[in-house]
Structure 1
Amino acid sequence: MQRFTNSIRGSLKVRNWYGALMAALTLPDICGKLETPDEYSKARSIRWLKQWIEPMYTRHIGADNRKHIFLSAEDCYALRCSFLHEGVSKIEEQKARKALENFHFITPLPGMHIHCNQSGNSLQLQVDVFCNQIADAVDEWAQSVHCNDVIMDRMKGLIVIHNSSSGISF
């Protein structure tokens, strides 16, 4: 899994925001497939996101300290579908969505952290922070399953881009 999370971080270093975001939104489904290959994409992605991403976007806010989920697993999956299949950040027509309607991604500003700001049904995310959080969660998940031989065997089947300078063979 590290080759995929390294790809996200490498894309961020060269400011390839779209490449990093595409990879980040794909990985929860891949992790879910490795865990439960017979489950459909939506169910396995939402299950994985609920455990590994949603807690990072859950806060207690206001005077009454009520629980607020800024980014639910369902809305994150809806974003994945909208962006990867349609190239858009609006999720209002996605069946999986729970609360949000749109995402507004911004690039980082030196010395500033502008992330997880909600206005109505729109959520503003700093693209590098979001992508790094997904990459970190995937790394943490991979560490948590490293003793699971079944999942590790499935991981061996993930795509590898081979170095052609060491010879081309099949």
Structure 2
Amino acid sequence: MQAITKDVRLALDAKLWRAALALALTIPDVCARLQGEKGRSAYVRWFDAHVGDRYRRPIGPQQREYIFMDGRDAYALRCAYLHQQSLDTDEQEIKHVVDKFKLTISPAGFPIHLNGGDPLQVDVRILCEDICAGADAWAEQHAGDKAMQERMQGLASFLDLGSGPFSI
């Protein structure tokens, strides 16, 4: 898992926003699968459990909880973005709160994140980092689980044949 979150962060550092977002949006799928679950309901549960708190805030004088986006909206974004390069989730039947996203790249120190309702402005760096932080915490929780660690070994890896010496 650490290799995936590292690659998301490297893509963010290189300002490869599309690549960072695409990889970050797959993380809940990967983590859920490593837990032995799959499908959109597993994605939604994982996102809500490990990232969702960052997308809920108390609002107004009564401090009622407002959900800016939840796991269903994240899954809808995942589908629209990965399959169509779209931020419009209106046609995604699973969506909950958000019909359309507007991704921002905020100036340092002035995040434009979770503004508006529809479209919801989301800073791509913050969203990607929130998903990575959720995955890092999730991986730490499972650090002592030998079966989980074995399943993690099955994640895609790359053999760099250009850095020799090496043997196959």
What's the TM-score bracket when you normalise by the shorter of the two chains? over 0.9
Q: Partner amino acid for 1:46?
A: V
Counterparts of residues 1-170 of structure 1 (less than 5 Å): 1-36=1-36, 39-119=37-117, 121-164=118-161, 165-166=163-164, 167=166, 169=168
> Against the structure 1 CA distance between its residues 66 and 160, is the aligned structure 2 distance closer, same or farther, given a 3 Å change threshold?
same
Does the residue aligned with 1:23 lie in a helix, a strand or coil? helix
Deviation at residue 149 of structure 1 after TM alignment: 1.6
TM-score norm. by structure 1 comes to 0.93
RMSD across aligned C-alpha pairs, in angstroms?
Answer: 1.2
Equivalent residue letter for 2:6: N
TM-score using structure 2 length? 0.94
Residue 32 of structure 2 contacts residue 38 of structure 2 at CA under 8 Å; is this kept in 1? no
Cα offset, 1:93, TM superposition: 0.7
Q: Residue deviations 1:92-151, cap 9 Å, x none? A: 1112111210000011213311111123x3210111111111111111110011111221
Structure 1 residue 88 displacement after superposition: 0.2
- Where 1:139 maps in the other structure, the secondary structure is helix
| Number of residue-to-residue matches in the alignment | 166
Structure 1 Cα separation of the partners of residues 109 and 60 of structure 2: 27
Q: Counterpart of 1:72 in structure 2: which amino acid? A: D
In structure 2, how many angstroms separate the alpha carbons of the residues matched to 1:73 and 1:162?
Answer: 34
> How far off its partner does 1:168 sit?
5.7
Identity across the alignment (%) = 32
Q: Distance in 1 between matches of 2:113 and 2:26?
A: 21
Distance 1:127 1:98 in 2: 20
Q: List alignment gaps of at least 5 residues for structure 1.
A: none
SS of corresponding position for 1:117: coil
**Does the CA-based 8 Å contact 2:76-2:92 persist in structure 1?**
yes
